[in-house]
Amino acid sequence: MDRLDQIRETFAKNGTRLGTGEFRRYDKRFEVIRDVIASGEIGTPSGAIFFGASSLMHGHIHTIDTLSFLLGDPGIVRVRGELPDVDAASMAGNHVPEDPEAVYELEFANGVMATSAHTGSGAVCTLPFSLT
């Protein structure tokens, strides 16, 4: 705690801000799910879907990392995104004034396709499997 106090004081003294965010991959509950998927005992993932409304930078950084983690971090080879709620009239100089809600499609290096579905305020993650 003393070291954290030093860091906080240094930031305050220099007028610098620090932002942090914990990824779900450090939550033991997600490790259990990842381990079951990696074992193959429930089949091979054929896709991944995140259901829920989320912002591009604040929220989807976590949903994409969680899907990656659950699939064993295979790497992402293709990304497609959409900003469905951005009003072009609110943009000035190609700048979005606030973190918009977004949806995405990803292709992982292992061939698994992932997508997000804008479904309101609740959030659910599903992984369809091919049973072998």
Each residue's pLDDT, cut to its tens digit, for the chain (132 residues) gives 888 889 889 988 998 877 666 688 888 888 999 999 999 999 999 898 888 778 877 888 888 999 999 999 999 999 998 876 666 666 677 677 777 788 899 999 999 999 988 776 544 455 555 544
Per-residue pLDDT, 128: 54
Q: Is residue 79 in some structural domain?
A: yes
Q: Number of folded domains in the chain?
A: 1
Domain of 76? 27-38+46-85+112-132
Rounded Cα gap, residues 111 and 46, in angstroms = 8
Q: Is residue 121 in some structural domain?
A: yes
Question: What is the pTM for the complete model shown?
Answer: 0.70
Helix (H, G, I), strand (E, B) or coil at 17: coil
Which string of DSSP letters, residue by residue, matches 33-64? HHHHHHHTTT-EE-EEEEES--BTTTTHHHHH
